[in-house]
């Protein structure tokens, strides 16, 4: 059974030229790239993507994501993997949100250098290389937002 995961390579991954390195890490763990894109992020897209977090943390977080991401390139990727746990496996490979606390062997633990503490003190988003959906519901919503189309038909998410 094939299952799916959704990631986004953030501007710091692109700026540090880690896109191929990170992609290779996912392929080495049995993931395949089903769909890949490139988006020059505008305020509307990034606010929509982080809407739930903005509601929790308020206007200062909203300002931080806008200044950190608007006008920059990001790469959304729909991944697949044989087996029932693509989302859990992709999150385990990605590592914890704060790169300074991510385990070695994870992408953030091996390539991350930023901290949530520094990002908060500087009123910016943490440079943690990528976003990784945390549930099938977020995968569906985020993939539609970033690819601009419902993916259920194209990849038959209901069968996963």
- Tokens 């896109």 belong to 19
Nearby residues of 132 by Cβ (< 8 Å), 6 or more positions away: 5, 6, 7, 90, 91, 94
Pick the catalytic residue: 131, 133, 146, 151?
131
Neighbouring C-beta atoms of residue 12, cutoff 10 Å: 21
Active site residue 131: yes
Q: Which helix (H) or strand (E) holds 116?
A: helix 116-121
Q: How many Å apart are CA 21 and CA 89, to the nearest integer?
A: 18
Quote the CA–CA distance of 46 and 66 in Å, as a whole number. Answer: 7
**Residues carrying an active site annotation:** 131
């Amino acid at each position: 059974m094939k299952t799916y995961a959704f990631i986004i390579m953030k501007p710091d991954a692109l700026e540090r030229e880690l896109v191929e390195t990170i992609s290779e890490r996912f392929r080495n763990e049995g993931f395949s790239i089903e769909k890949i894109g490139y988006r020059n992020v505008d305020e509307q897209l990034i606010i929509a993507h982080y809407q739930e977090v903005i509601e929790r943390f308020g206007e200062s977080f909203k300002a931080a994501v806008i200044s950190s991401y608007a006008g920059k390139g990001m790469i959304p990727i729909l991944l697949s993997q044989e087996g029932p746990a693509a989302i859990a496996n992709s999150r385990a490979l990605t590592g914890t949100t704060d790169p300074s606390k991510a385990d070695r062997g994870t992408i953030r633990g091996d390539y991350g250098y930023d901290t949530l503490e520094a990002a908060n003190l500087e009123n910016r988003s943490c440079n943690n290389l990528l976003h990784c959906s945390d549930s099938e519901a977020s995968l569906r919503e985020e993939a539609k937002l970033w690819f601009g189309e419902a993916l259920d038909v194209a990849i038959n998410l209901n069968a996963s």
